[in-house]
Amino acid sequence: MSKIENMVNKYIKSCRRVLKELRSSSAKVKACKEVSELIEWAENYLKDAEFYLREGELEVSLATIAYCEGLLDALRLLGLAEFEW
């Protein structure tokens, strides 16, 4: 397995865990339409990253999962979600 593939798998695993936590625990997410939409966008980026990984397009997968991670970090930094990487 290549270095980039290892990175992608690590980021996908982390994002999947955080999204699962956020969806299952409404106490950790300030409930509002905009936050829900950002979480949905992050979930879509996660799905895209998994798709591109399966297709062997590692660079695209890495870029896509980075978008997912960035949205999640933005929610956390704004105090709209609580989680740890």
pLDDT, tens digit (0-9, with 9 covering 90-100), for 11-30:
999 999 999 999 887 656 76
Inform me whether the pLDDT recorded for 8 exceeds 90.
Answer: yes
- At residue 35, the pLDDT reads 87
Q: Which CATH architecture has domain 3-19+30-77?
A: Up-down Bundle (1.20)
Query: Could you tell me the pTM of the whole model?
Result: 0.91
Q: For 26-61, write each residue's pLDDT tens digit.
A: 656 767 888 889 999 999 999 999 999 999 999 999
Output the pLDDT for position 33. Answer: 84
The residues spanned by each domain of the chain are 3-19+30-77
If DSSP states are collapsed to H, E and C, what string results for 20-47?
HHHHHCHHHECCCHHHHHHHHHHHHHHH
- Measured CA to CA, the distance from residue 81 to residue 24 in angstroms comes to 12
Q: Which of the 8 DSSP states describes residue 81? A: B
